Amino acid sequence: MNWDWDYAIDSLPLLFQGIVVTVELTVLGALLAYALGLVLALVRQVRVPVLSQLVYLFVEFIRSTPLLIQVFAFYYLLQPALGLRLSPFVTGFVMLGIHYATYTSEVYRAGIDAVPKGQWEAARALSLPRGRVWTGVILPQAVPRVLPSLGNYTISMFKETPLLLAIGVLDVLNRAQEAASETFRYVEPVTLAGVFFLLVSYPASILVRKLERRAGTV
């Protein structure tokens, strides 16, 4: 197998389009996962009757089925049934976000549980309103502790974007394949796509490890 630099360079513009999509999917999916995960964690923590149990079932269901099947099901079955027509891109980041929200909700829960009981009692002894206890006392202590775990899940999400090809989202790897399908030369584009993932994931995981050391992880 030989490496053709000219061909590699030719495939770059197409790969670059894919890189943008991968990054967008990851960022949007991650933001959704952070926010929705927090909501799920709070609903369970505050023990809203019925809703808490529903959230529990939802979390268990999502976590015990593969993301790929969820993406398929949401795109080809659920959306038509609901009369929705989201683009593959939107479907992609929404499903990534929802899937990972079930993991981040557990992360938040652990972070919230790790806040000492005395903090709740002190807040109560000062009569702080319930909402302020969360926003002023509990979450500011819980969230920094869970940042490394959130970071790890973000890296996982980043690496999972290629499976959105299933519904036609062209992320960087899928663009590489597209480039290759015209010429039947896979080595260069696929290698470059792999290098891209490596170049982002590896420094990111070093960063997360640094965070972990600083935060004293849950």
Partner 1 sequence: MDSHQPLSDAQAGTATADREMIRFDKVVKRFGDNVVLNELDFTVSPGEFVTLIGPSGSGKTTILRLLMTLEKVDGGTIQVDGEYLSHMERGGKLVPADEKHLRKVRRHIGMVFQQFNLFPNMKVLQNITEAPMRVLGKSRAEAEERGRELLEMVGLSEKVDAHPSQLSGGQQQRVAIARALAMEPDVLLLDEVTSALDPELVAGVLAVLKDIATSTEITFLCVTHEMQFAKDVSDRVIMFDHGQVVEEAVPEKLFTSPEHERTREFLHAVIDREV
Binding site for partner 1 (CB under 8 A): 116, 118-119, 121-129, 132, 136-137, 140-141
CB of 117 to partner 1, least distance (A): 9
Quickly list DSSP for the chain: ----HHHHHHHHHHHHHHHHHHHHHHHHHHHHHHHHHHHHHHHHHTT-TTHHHHHHHHHHHHHTS-HHHHHHIIIIIIHHHHT----HHHHHHHHHHHHHHHHHHHHHHHHHHTS-HHHHHHHHHTT--HHHIIIIIIHHHHHHHHHHHHHHHHHHHHHHGGGGGGGT---HHHHHHHHHHHHT--HHHHHHHHHHHHHHHHHHHHHHHHHHHHHT--
Compare residues 63 and 214 and give the one whose CB is closer to partner 1: 214
CB of 134 to partner 1, least distance (A): 12
Nearer to partner 1, 26 or 217 (CB): 217
Q: How far is the CB of 148 from partner 1 (least distance, A)?
A: 18
Tell the smallest beta-carbon distance from residue 104 to partner 1 (Å).
21
Q: Name which of 2 and 127 has its Cβ closer to partner 1.
A: 127
Shorter beta-carbon distance to partner 1: residue 23 or 110: 110
**In 3D, which of 69, 61, 30 has the Cα closest to residue 167?**
69
> Least distance from C-beta 127 to partner 1, angstroms?
5
Q: Which CB, 70 or 119, lies closer to partner 1?
A: 119
Cβ 51 to partner 1 shortest distance, Å: 19
* Residue among 49 and 118 whose Cβ is closer to partner 1: 118
Look-up: residue for tokens 């929404």?
A: 94
